Chain A
Amino acid sequence: MENQSLRLKLRVWRQASSQAKGAFETYELAAVPVHASFLEMMDLLNEQLVREDKEPVAFDHDCREGICGMCSMYINGRAHGPQRGTTTCQLHMRHFRDGETITVEPFRAAAFPVLKDLAVNRSAFDRIQQAGGYVTVNTGNAPDGNAVPIPKTDADEAFMSAACIGCGACVAACKNASAMLFVSAKVSQYALLPQGQPEHRERVLSMVEAMDMEGFGHCTNTGACEAECPKGISVENIARLNRSYLAAQLSGGGTSAVATSD
């Protein structure tokens, strides 16, 4: 097992810039160790390309331990590849077969333009967070951390929502390229905590409005996002967002156009 390696054919999306037209290129790797991670396999490919004085494949990555959310890649038709609950950086080559052809594409969504090859621009996510993904509290004016008890079940549930790593797999997996799972996870985290209550209504309205403005698609409840989410963020968050959104609209707050879910 330790010395096993794979011979692989890679079909990789190459695109020089956002404006350029992209196409698949095929590469062969002769000996990929089975215990290497998918990104380490990409490192081997790049090392090979650099040695041949060719341009290496651009891809986003950083922590390589499944938490920063920087890595993306659409592998064999699935965001972050075939293993459930796993980011690309934590996907290991033992899940592939010798001789296999692997197709690697960028996350595709109108709101995530390709920067180069497999790297896409996900700054739309930051702008959605800036629209309300916070509690208004300046440094220094917080009460004691135990002043407001929070039931353990609420704290745990808020944590589950807060575990989102903002990678965008939910968008890439969705046929409508909807960002509802991402947005609802943040809205839910605060909705479940007493600290999030004062601004809850404004938050849900303005975050949904920002999401719509970024050009993400509508949610049609297929659940593909939950299935591909590397952190197991539940679609219950979307239900919670919809309830909050409706309540906020009925209570007359906000100016957002239409609810984005049906």
Chain B
Amino acid sequence: MDVNLINLDMKLDSKIPSGPLAERWKHYRSTVPLVSPANKRKLEVIVVGTGLAGASAAASLAELGYKVKTFCFQDSPRRAHSIAAQGGINAAKNYQNDGDSVYRLFYDTIKGGDYRAREANVHRLAEVSASIIDQCVAQGVPFARDYGGMLDNRSFGGTQVSRTFYARGQTGQQLLLGAYSALNRQISKKQIQSFTRHEMVELVIVDGKARGIIAKNLVTGELERHSAHAVVLASGGYGNVFYLSTNAMGSNVTAAWKAHRHGAMFGNPCFTQIHPTCLPQAGEYQSKLTLMSESLRNDGRVWVPSRVEDAQAIREGRLKASDLGEDRRDYFLERKYPAFGNLVPRDVASRAAKDVCDAGHGVAPTGLAVFLDFEDAIRRLGRSTISARYGNLFEMYEKITGDNPYETPMKIYPAVHYTMGGLWVDYELMTTIPGLYAIGEANFSDHGANRLGASALMQGLADGYFVLPYTIGAYLSSEIRHAAPSVDHPSFVEAEQRALDLQNRLLAIKGKRSAESFHRALGKIMWEYCGMARSAEGLRHALGLLESLHHEFWSDVLVPGSLNSYNPELDKAHRVADFIELGRLMVWDALTREESCGGHFRVEHQTPEGEALRHDEEFAFVSAWEYHGPDKDPVMHREALNFEEVHLTQRSYK
């Protein structure tokens, strides 16, 4: 494979401050340029996306005095997909007196990410984690409490302390509603203008700086121009490139992809997280996969029948789980990883499930499922305790499958859940386009090659509440002399024309296949060749398939309806077009990274025990890809990762 490997570090200034790791953020905050209150009033910021990162950033920036516009494609900011996060949010509070600390959270995150994240970013994340909990409590977020009235914690995969704060199985919902309430307060004070049912369809760049967006009003179909001094993308992850994922149906990469096309580099695109505890796929008609919170692994035990014959009998309905005694069960996570057992990190648990299913031990009719069993926990703790902890998840499971998990074990299988990759950002969360920021899941920055459970909520809120409000000042302090550009500026006119042309082009194809059918086809290619196990041969094959799919799409997609109307099919087609291009970039990245790390497992690179084998000498870097056109090969830049604090070891959860 002829890969354009260029080491252009001057293009990638990560702006990591110098000095001792634990002092960097403190020092940065004390020395970053400030913007006076009088000037903040004149500075405008656009925030695209209103999930945890976007809503918290918008509210915090507005509190500081900036004028903010928020955009979301949903009918209300409260519906962003952060709402669906179940398990919890990590914070280094050490309320449980079990030895937690900022350093330990930092260390666990770096290790959990398989040493592919920046030390300075992750340390900052751990430092601000405790303030997030305080902020949310003050907003009235009803976290779980113990009988003394203190905040309760649970443990989560990849850690040995209890540092996860939660609100039943609806932590994301409660945190998002907290951020949404802060957003609402600023809307009522007219500091924020909220645009719902709007999608960003173009980025506007004036004199090399991000100065606005073209947003599509999804109800009327009209294109609108919005200008600002800075643009913040909080548009989430791109897991829907796999079609089936735990993401919401509307989650898409379009905003981030437009930025990429305009020069924002894309970091580690192939780092995707496959979550081990999701409901298995039941049929072709399926539109998404549902996650069952990883917190279930605290009390649930994962197993498959030890004997292939038993597994087959269960698949065919001749045996039930309860027919098998302990001697006929393989608790494979407890067996393979005695130190962490069922709480190994997500990538490890997912691959282990795939391995036993590939070996014929799977338990659903498709052969692609393992049991998650609460029998022991119910016996030990009682049904009421289990119900208090997981009641809503059990109900949800029963609703979808028709099975009652109090009586019979759940069936689970890994599914695409989160994307660690995203727009490349520096320490200040700015992309390679000046004035364009990316926060939350939309950036690549803190989780390396694998994210630990309950860390997405932490990162989204850290970026929005406590990082961006400081770092954006470094840029805006030099923008006080400029008014936001007029929306009549030629750059706006051109950007709007590009967006319009694209939509007209999609409508004009009038082919035979729906956008949905292309999306499904894309998902199959990505899951097969760029999913849980990847090989050079498969990835090369995928590049060919994606190229054909790209051409078929642009010659055969059928988009009904018209331009200036409520036309979800047109919007879907637009998103699928971007996903197809992204898929290609992910495959390039996976092919280039000739090692296994975290969620990226290359079959050629594994230890004799079948664990991920990193090649630190060659691959301890962030790949940052530059776009050169839909038919041109992307160009990779490398940001070397320097580990000063943490000693790199092969991860072991045994």
Q: Which residues of A line the B interface, CB within 8 A?
A: 2, 17, 33, 35-37, 39-40, 43-44, 47, 49-51, 53-56, 58, 60-70, 83, 85-86, 90, 92, 94, 115-116, 119, 121-123, 125-126, 129-131, 133-146, 149-152, 155-156, 158-159, 162-163, 165-166, 189-190, 193, 195-196
Tell me whether B365 is interfacial, beta carbon within 8 Å: yes
Cβ of B145 and Cβ of A63 under 8 Å apart?
A: no
Docked CA distance A85–B165 (Å): 26
| Closest residue on chain B to residue A206 by CB atoms | B188
B181 contacts which chain A residues (CB < 8 A)? Answer: 129, 133-135
Is the beta-carbon distance between B139 and A39 smaller than 8 angstroms?
Answer: no
Contact A126 B77 (CB under 8 A): yes
Report the bound CA distance from A86 to B396 in whole Å: 9
Does B566 lie at the interface of the complex (its beta carbon under 8 Å from any beta carbon of A)?
yes
Which residues of the partner chain B approach A44 to less than 8 Å between Cβ atoms? 285
Q: Given A126-B184, A136-B185, is A54 in contact with B560 using a C-beta cutoff of 8 Å?
A: yes
Report whether B282 and A35 are in contact in the complex, using a CB–CB cutoff of 8 Å: yes
Known: A36-B283, A69-B79, A144-B134. A63 touches B248 (CB 8 A): yes
A–B pairs, 5, beta carbons within 8 Å? A50-B569, A67-B170, A70-B75, A134-B184, A141-B138
Cα–Cα, bound, A54→B167 (Å): 45
Q: What interface size band does chain B fall in?
A: 35 or more
Additional A-B contact list (17), CB under 8 Å, known A64-B288, A122-B75: A2-B365, A36-B285, A37-B400, A47-B514, A62-B250, A64-B249, A65-B396, A70-B74, A85-B395, A90-B399, A115-B219, A122-B76, A126-B76, A126-B78, A134-B182, A142-B131, A144-B134
In the bound complex, CA of A40 to CA of B558 (Å): 20
Q: Which residues of B contact A58 (CB under 8 A)?
A: 566, 568
- Interchain CB contact under 8 A, A40 and B285: yes
**Closest partner residue, chain B, to A52 (CB atom):** B560
Known: A56-B560, A143-B134. A121 touches B75 (CB 8 A): yes
In the bound complex, how far is the Cα of B83 from the Cα of A66, in angstroms? Answer: 10
Binding site for A on B (CB under 8 A): 56, 59-60, 63, 74-79, 81, 83-84, 93, 95, 131, 133-151, 165, 167-168, 170, 173-174, 177, 180-182, 184-185, 187-188, 194, 196, 219, 246, 248-250, 282-283, 285-288, 290-291, 365, 395-396, 399-400, 402, 465-466, 469, 514, 516-517, 558, 560-561, 566, 568-569
- Whole-angstrom CA separation of A85 from B396 in the bound complex: 10
Partner of A56, one of B141, B465, B568: B568
When the two chains form their complex, are residues A64 and B287 in contact, meaning their CB atoms are under 8 A apart? yes
Chain B min CB distance to A211 (Å): 15
Q: Given the interface contacts A53-B560, A55-B560, A92-B400, does A68 sit within 8 Å of B81 by beta carbon?
A: yes
- How far is the CB of B30 from the nearest CB of chain A, in Å? 15
Chain A: minimal CB distance from B440 (Å): 16
Q: Are B167 and A159 in contact (CB under 8 A)?
A: yes
Q: How far, in Å, is B394 (CB) from chain A's closest CB?
A: 13
B residues less than 8 Å from A151 (CB atoms): 145, 149
> Sorted from nearest, which 10 A-B pairs have the closest CB atoms?
A149-B149, A142-B138, A134-B181, A159-B142, A142-B134, A145-B137, A158-B142, A139-B60, A155-B145, A62-B248
In the complex the two chains form, is A140's CB within 8 Å of B74's CB? no
| Contact partner, A94, options B184, B185, B194, B402, Cβ 8 Å | B402
Q: Are B396 and A90 in contact (CB under 8 A)?
A: yes
A53 adjacent to B558 (CB under 8 Å):
yes
Say yes or no: B285 contacts A159, CB within 8 Å. no
Residue of chain B at shortest CB distance from A141: B138
**Complex contact A63–B84 (CB within 8 A):** yes
Task: Find out whether the CB atom of A137 lies under 8 angstroms from the CB atom of B516.
Answer: no
CB distance from A61 to the nearest CB of B (A): 6
**A135 and B137 alpha carbons, distance in the complex (Å):** 10
Beyond A43-B285, A145-B134, A159-B167, is A139–B76 a contact (Cβ under 8 Å)? no
* Bound CA–CA A61/B568 (angstroms): 11
Q: Would you give the shortest CB distance from B495 to chain A, in whole angstroms?
A: 27
Which residues of B lie under 8 Å from residue A193 when comparing CB positions?
Answer: 140, 142
Residue from A134, A193, A196 having most chain B Cβ neighbours under 10 A: A134
Point out the residues of chain B lying under 8 angstroms from A53, CB to CB. 558, 560
Given A39-B287, A123-B76, residue A62 in contact with residue B81 (CB < 8 A): yes
Contact (Cβ within 8 A) B140 A126: no
What is the bound-complex CA distance between A151 and B150, given in angstroms?
8
From A56, which residue of chain B is reached at the shortest CB distance? B569
Smallest CB separation, A189 vs chain B (Å): 6
**Nearest-CB residue, chain B, relative to A36:** B285
Q: Which residues of A contact B182 (CB under 8 A)?
A: 134, 137, 139
Q: For the complex, what is the distance from the CA of A183 to the CA of B280, rounded to whole Å?
A: 37
Bound-complex Cα distance A150 to B148 (A): 8
The answer to whether A40 and B184 touch (CB under 8 A), given A17-B566, A122-B75, is no
Given contact pairs A63-B83, A90-B400, A163-B170, A150 touches B283 in the complex (Cβ within 8 A): no
A47→B569 CA distance, assembly (Å): 10
Closest to B188 in A: A130
A62 touches B74 (CB 8 A): yes
Is A43 a contact partner of B77 (Cβ separation < 8 A)?
A: no
Which residues of A lie under 8 Å from residue B561 when comparing CB positions?
55
By a CB distance below 8 angstroms, the chain B residues around A62 are 74, 79, 81, 248-250
A140 to B130, CA, bound (A): 11
**A67 touching B60 by the CB < 8 A rule?**
no
Bound-complex Cα distance A58 to B78 (A)? 21
How far does the alpha carbon of A40 sit from the alpha carbon of B249 in the complex, in Å? Answer: 11
Instruction: Report the nearest B residue to A151, measured CB to CB.
Output: B149
Distance, CA A196 to CA B142, complexed state (A): 11
A242–B334 CA distance with the chains assembled, in angstroms: 54
Beta-carbon contact of B81 and A139 below 8 Å: no
Chain A hits for B148, CB < 8 A: 149
Contact A139-B59, Cβ < 8 Å, known A50-B569, A94-B402: yes
Q: For B194, list chain A residues within 8 Å (CB).
A: 126
Tell me, rounded to whole Å, the shortest Cβ–Cβ distance linking A209 to chain B.
Answer: 13
Partner of B140, one of A92, A116, A146, A190: A190
**In the docked arrangement, what's the CA distance between A124 and B196, Å?**
12
Q: How far is the CA of A141 from the CA of B131 in the complex (A)?
A: 9
- Cβ–Cβ contact B143 & A68, under 8 A: no
Residues of A within 8 A of B469 (CB): 139
A195 and B188: CB pair below 8 A? Answer: no
Q: How far is the CA of A215 from the CA of B560 in the complex (A)?
A: 36
In contact, B285 and A123 (Cβ under 8 angstroms): no
Contact, CB under 8 Å: A139 / B465: yes
Task: For the complex, give the distance between the alpha carbons of A68 and B476 in Å.
Answer: 34
Task: Chain B residues near A51: list those with CB within 8 A.
Answer: 514, 558
